[in-house]
Structure 1
Amino acid sequence: MSEPPAPRIRTARPADDEALGLIDRLTWSRLHAVAPEPQPPFSPFFSERHAPEDCLVAEVDGRVAGYVLLGFPTPLACNAHVRQIQGLAVANEARGRGAGRALIRAAVEEARRRGARRVTLRVLAHNTPARKLYESEGFVVEGVLPEEFLLGGEYVDDVLMGRSL
């Protein structure tokens, strides 16, 4: 039996807004989300904070299957050499097909292309699958903010990870 085709990664387009918003809502979980569960009316996926050019999209079988948001951790010029992964989601039906890994690799390459020296991210301590994936792609724990979030009645650490390019 042959391997399924690798996900295709591309820069997002404004027309992806609805599909990406739907993925965001369908994959919402306390495992990774600190914001409340989205409720109607839903906000657009793209905003002043994240434009389509800040988002890479994974396509599986010709359909939008996931995304990664790449931004600046701060607006300061002295921090402009760092990019931060500010969101990653893969549709449930596309999980296990390499989309998450492909998105992380593409984000790292895009950060490098844009002149970054480092890529950072934040991940909840209890999100073991995401942490293992990031670690397998060269990210290391650089700090922990103990009990940073109260989620579902439990305190959860915020783990800061990064890697040099």
Structure 2
Amino acid sequence: MPEPLIRIAKTDDEDELAVLDRVTWSTLHAVAPEPQPPYQPFFDERHPAEDFLVAEADGRVLGYVRLAHPTPLASNAHVLAIQGFVVAEEARGRGVGRALIRAAVTEARSRGARRLTLRVLGHNTPARALYESEGFAVEGVLPQEFLLDGAYVDDVCMGRAL
């Protein structure tokens, strides 16, 4: 697989991103119910294309990361949060996720952020290991925050300085 190109999403990416989002849905990382038809638009007022970085190789979208402000408060404007991160199954373990996280750090800096935060489910060991290897640290844990597949799962808050 060639090195992925990381770029800002375009509105033309909507259908491919929506399908990727649906086929990768799992309680390993999702707390919302599995999407069912009729599907909601991928991009909307709260999730515009410019908030997404897309990994692409051979003309195919292999993953995305979404950067957004965690709150609309001016006092919190120096913080960006990763609020969505997906890598296609066939691209996992090939550096696509790492490339997306590194691009998110670079993009957050270019947007003037001083901190980058995220939330990850406690049982999502692969994602937590990736985030830790890229400089994120656990900053808090909400114990048993979600009930998924009959088990209570922690919500882990992580962040890093930029």
Which residue is 1:44 aligned to?
41
Which residue is 1:95 aligned to?
92
Cα shift at 1:100 = 0.5
The answer as to 2:135 corresponding to 1:142 is: no
1-side partners of 2:121 and 2:30: how far apart? Answer: 8
1-side partners of 2:109 and 2:125: how far apart? Answer: 26
The answer as to 2:79 corresponding to 1:82 is: yes
Unaligned runs of 5+ in 1: none
Classify the secondary structure of the residue corresponding to 1:74.
coil
Contact between 1:6 and 1:97, CA under 8 Å: does it hold in 2? no
Which residue is 1:65 aligned to?
62
User: Which deviations, in whole Å up to 9, do the C-alpha atoms of 1:33-89 show, x marking residues without a partner?
Assistant: 000000001111111111111000000222111100000011111000000000000
Identity among equivalent pairs (%): 73
Classify the secondary structure of the residue corresponding to 1:134.
helix
The code of the aligned residue for 2:157 comes to L
Cα shift at 1:5 = 2.3
Contact between 1:124 and 1:157, CA under 8 Å: does it hold in 2? yes
Cα shift at 1:150 = 0.7
The answer as to 2:156 corresponding to 1:159 is: yes
2-side partners of 1:144 and 1:42: how far apart? Answer: 32
1-side partners of 2:125 and 2:90: how far apart? Answer: 20
Contact between 1:60 and 1:94, CA under 8 Å: does it hold in 2? no
The code of the aligned residue for 1:119 comes to L
Moved over 3 A (4+): none
Which residue is 2:10 aligned to?
13
Q: Please give the TM-score of this superposition, normalised by the length of structure 1.
A: 0.96
Find 2:21's aligned residue among 21, 24, 30. Answer: 24
Cα shift at 1:141 = 0.2
Cα shift at 1:97 = 1.8
Classify the secondary structure of the residue corresponding to 1:150.
strand
Unaligned runs of 5+ in 2: none
Equivalenced residue count is: 162
Contact between 1:84 and 1:120, CA under 8 Å: does it hold in 2? yes
The code of the aligned residue for 1:62 comes to G
User: Which deviations, in whole Å up to 9, do the C-alpha atoms of 1:82-106 show, x marking residues without a partner?
Assistant: 0000000011122222111111000
Classify the secondary structure of the residue corresponding to 1:17.
helix
Q: Please give the TM-score of this superposition, normalised by the length of structure 2.
A: 0.98
